[in-house]
Chains A and B, each alone.
Chain A
Amino acid sequence: MNERSSHSSTPRKLTGAEIIWECLERLGVEHVFGYPGGAILPTYDALTKSRVHHVLVRHEQGATHMADGYARASGRVGVALATSGPGATNMVTGIATAMMDSSPIVCITGQVGSAVLGSDAFQEVDITGITIPITKHNYLVTRADEIAVSLREAFQIAASDRPGPVLVDVTKDAQLGSCEFDWDAAAPRAHRQVPDFFPTPAKLDEAAVLINESQRPVILAGHGIILSGAGEEVRRLAETADIPVALTLLGLGAFPASHPLNLGMMGMHGEAWVNQAIQESDLLIALGMRFDDRVTGKLNTYAQKAKKIHVEIDRAEINKNVHVDVPLIGDLRGILHHLLPLVKPNRHSQWWSQVHVSKQDSAVRDIQNLPDNGHLYAAHVINDLWRETKGDAVIVTDVGQHQMWEAQYYHHEKPRSLITSGGLGTMGFSLPAAIGAKFARPDAEVWVVAGDGGFQMTMAELATIVQEKLNVKIAIINNGFLGMVRQWQEFFYEGRYAGTPLLSPDYVKLAEAYGIPGLMVSERSQVVPALHASRFHAGAALIDFRVEQEDSVYPMVPAGADLDAMIRRPNPLVERPTDD
């Protein structure tokens, strides 16, 4: 933890509100995303004396997504601040989003005075009760002298083991009250012995034997690789034993897209040959992933020929969805460090040729070679964005079709270059999360890729971008539908488009109302010039891409179907294999 040591540790008398900022500074917090209100006013008053930069959001959900985007882009804890009642309940979606995707955030909420707790006071809500199932832990703090220890513990809990959100609810009287502030005395308690689940040498041997004897292994690379910083170890494992690597959505970037051992994304909208390889495999090596239903398809036909090694820090994930033969519980990087010396160099040429055969069956996605038939496809937009940014941008996506196209057509080389809501699938995530990501990495080129549905959920945060003078680029994939739902209606509900046709404002005018330059693109030839113009504009810019309205994401495993029972790409996006 990057705590600052410049502060003296001599106890001083401070108010609870002052203690909050003092602790945040010492915990290395530079930005807090928040929205003031009655029950948090003492803390806002004390903000005037703090070095911490406060970002005024337009909705508290935005504050939590910003904290989340900040955390995902940097690996540091993101902080959101709100008042009691509606301020706190507006955070719920963002907290649940962070919980599902193991993102370390700390949410601080004001609460009514402790004397009136439970009396239905104005703007009182039981936010600790509400957030029990969607936080790693939460605190109700009713005294000034409990603030420091609660915050220090909150940061430690949020960032340790499997990361996640922690909420600290501070009553108004705790903020107003005073006490001796003693940083050292407020150290997080070692409340229980850390259990030693770390794999024994025998367990590691067992895993190594499976790897060394496997004929058709596949590595399933998940988000845990990024959280653990284990990309290098995973690469060494794959290269040593010549193992194909399939990635989850949140794993994208954990293993370079251009690496010859990279198969691509698995699961519902993964490539057919990836899912085929998993189904044919005799050994799955699951690294920091949780066998989510979007990646397994029907569980009782999932990878039946394969033994399974599951390396996972969260014990509760072991045998949750898929029975594993060798569970290895602990930090991925640490475990791979011990496992690597036991893994023998190997070649799997027969397995690779089998994989390549199924790859030839599938459509080759070199969509750049498709003739321009007058239609603008989202895939083209994403692919051009990848080419223009040379894959170096941080892409923050929303949820839906564009999210899957991004995953398919933007090739991520580095960890933390894709920020997306996977587990909860929270529409409206992208714009605020991108703001957080930009604060975390001011030098990075940050792009929002959002659908017209999700963008309209949180587009009020455009004002935050302007107020903070942020250089965030926005690409709206506008198809006039809630596209993913429309696709399901087309495939599974006989094309009855209930509630999915969607009106949008004129996004160019909307952007201009905020003082952001906007462009509208409806032809393929305009894509690159528009991207170019936006990229070299010295501030935020927005492009409204009017794409094909009833395009669908392929390939697709229907929900609950066998993983290799995929709906393949039809024309015109299917292409004959080329001599790539």
Chain B
Amino acid sequence: MTEREKPHTFVVYVENKPGVLNRIASLFRRRGYNIESLTVGHTERPNISRMTIVSSIGEGAAHRVEANIYKLVNVLSVEDVTHGTTISRSLALIKVDAPEESRHRLMEIVRVFRARVVDLAPRSLIIEITGAEDKIHALVDVLRPFGIVEMVRTGQVVMRRGVQERAVSSSPKPAQDDARPKEPKTGTEPSGANALVEAEHPGSV
């Protein structure tokens, strides 16, 4: 493969039926493409699920995979949102070594990152963080010296900004290159301070 491989993000609406995930995963597998993350969940419409799939593949490969996903009967729509303006989030639970002496510093870090402590045990605590991938990366880097005992991440979920120009039932774009959205914006949210502000959200522990 000569083209440079970078993460491509696909948003796929599918019928909520047994085997659909297998059919989609199979299209990546047969070409030897690895799936970096994959999330599936219900949507605002009954019996329709939404997947966000991230795979590091070249531009041409992404194009082929998208066209082949669309051919699956159980797929309602598929969109490669890599080049669009999107909001991207994932959630991580991070269990960190937390003896008495380092707890204060950990709490400070949690506050700065607008993360939350969701469990406190005598020698460890669990931190929950929601945000874009790079923000979670940043927190993990800061926490690593304390000793990460265990970590789980959900994988990315992605949504286009603004009014959806394509909903579940609308037609996907033709494959012609000129018809595809190619905004120069990066696919992730703004980083830095803005990211921290945006990441704030109410929720229950």
Contact = CB atoms under 8 A, between A and B. Distances in A.
A129 B35 CA distance: 20
Interface string A122-147: 00000011001100110010000000
A140 B18 contact: yes
B137 interface: no
B26 A132 contact: yes
Interface in B152-192: 169-172, 174-176
A319 interface: yes
Interface in B23-50: 23, 26, 30
B151 interface: no
A553 interface: no
Contacts, number: 56
B152 to A, nearest CB: 28
A318 B60 CA distance: 11
A136 B60 CA distance: 23
A426 B195 CA distance: 57
A492 interface: no
Contacts of B77: 192
A217 B70 CA distance: 33
A166 B106 CA distance: 57
A140 B174 CA distance: 31
Interface stretch (B61-69, B85-93, B95-103): B61-69
B19 interface: yes
Interface string A182-205: 000000000111011100000100
A320 interface: yes
Nearest to B76: A192
Contacts of A318: 67, 175
A311 to B, nearest CB: 13
Interface string B50-79: 000000000010011001101111111100
Interface residues of B, number: 27
Given A140-B19, A157-B73, A315 B171 contact: no
A329 B174 contact: yes
Contacts of A129: 19, 22
A1 to B, nearest CB: 18
A314 B171 contact: no
B50 to A, nearest CB: 15
A327 B178 CA distance: 11
Interface string A312-328: 00111011100000010
B15 interface: yes
Given A196-B171, A315-B67, A132 B73 contact: no
Given A129-B22, A132-B23, A157-B73, A315 B64 contact: no
A315 B22 contact: no
Contacts of B175: 197, 315, 318-319, 327, 329
Nearest to A326: B176
B106 to A, nearest CB: 46
A196 B176 CA distance: 13
Given A129-B22, A132-B23, A329-B175, A316 B67 contact: yes
Contacts of B171: 193, 195-196
A320 B76 contact: no
Contact of B71 (A140, A193, A314): A314
Nearest to B176: A327
A191 B67 contact: no
A133 B30 contact: yes
Contacts of B76: 191-192
Contacts of B71: 136, 314-316
Contacts of A196: 171
A562 B64 CA distance: 25
B60 A193 contact: no
A197 B174 contact: yes
A319 B60 contact: yes
Nearest to A196: B171
A140 to B, nearest CB: 7
A132 B22 contact: yes
Q: Which 9 A-B pairs have the closest CB atoms?
A: A316-B67, A195-B171, A137-B73, A197-B174, A315-B175, A192-B76, A315-B67, A316-B68, A132-B26
Interface of B: 15, 18-19, 22-23, 26, 30, 60, 63-64, 67-68, 70-77, 169-172, 174-176
19 contacts: A129-B19, A129-B22, A133-B30, A136-B73, A137-B74, A140-B18, A140-B19, A193-B170, A193-B171, A195-B172, A195-B174, A197-B174, A314-B71, A315-B175, A316-B64, A316-B67, A316-B68, A319-B63, A327-B176
Given A318-B67, A319-B175, 9 more contacts: A157-B73, A191-B15, A191-B74, A196-B171, A315-B67, A315-B71, A315-B175, A316-B67, A319-B60
